[in-house]
């Protein structure tokens, strides 16, 4: 069986050893490029794009350009981490529906 070209966000989360919410946040912030497929808009990440993302992160780490602390929320984003988690959970429920 050939290697798949695209991964789900669940696959990406497993590969990166992060939660689904963290993988989704990378896509929403456009740090990790993904496309939406189908009427329900399910996210897919190309394997090659995930590899580029990982290599970029290694390059940032080597250059010392990785931020030490997460950035403050910008205008229009959720005010609290709990509210942000609730927003991501709602988005995930919609995608799985």
In a domain, 1, yes or no: no
Asked whether residue 65 carries a pLDDT value surpassing 80, the answer given is no
In a domain, 82, yes or no: yes
Instruction: Read off the tokens for 85.
Output: 């988690």
Domain count within the chain: 1
In a domain, 24, yes or no: yes
Which domain CATH number covers 48?
Answer: 1.10.1660
**pLDDT at res. 12:** 98
DSSP 1: -
In a domain, 25, yes or no: yes
User: How many other CB atoms are found less than 10 A from the CB of residue 57?
Assistant: 14
**pLDDT band (50, 70, 90) for residue 97:** very low
pLDDT tens, position by position, 8-63 = 999 999 999 999 999 999 999 999 999 999 888 899 999 999 999 999 999 999 99
pLDDT tens, position by position, 18-33 = 999 999 999 999 999 9
Query: Which structural domain range is residue 54 located in?
Result: 6-67+75-96
Strand partners, 42: 37
Asked whether residue 91 carries a pLDDT value surpassing 80, the answer given is no
């Amino acid at each position: 069986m050939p290697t798949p070209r695209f991964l789900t966000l669940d696959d990406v989360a497993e590969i990166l050893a992060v939660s689904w919410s963290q993988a989704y946040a990378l896509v929403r912030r456009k740090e990790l490029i993904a496309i939406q497929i189908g009427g329900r808009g399910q996210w897919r990440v190309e394997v090659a794009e995930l590899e580029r993302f990982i290599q970029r992160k290694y390059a940032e780490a080597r250059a010392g350009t990785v931020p030490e602390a997460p950035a403050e929320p910008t205008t229009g984003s959720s005010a609290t981490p709990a509210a942000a988690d609730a927003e991501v959970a709602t988005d995930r429920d919609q995608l799985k529906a």
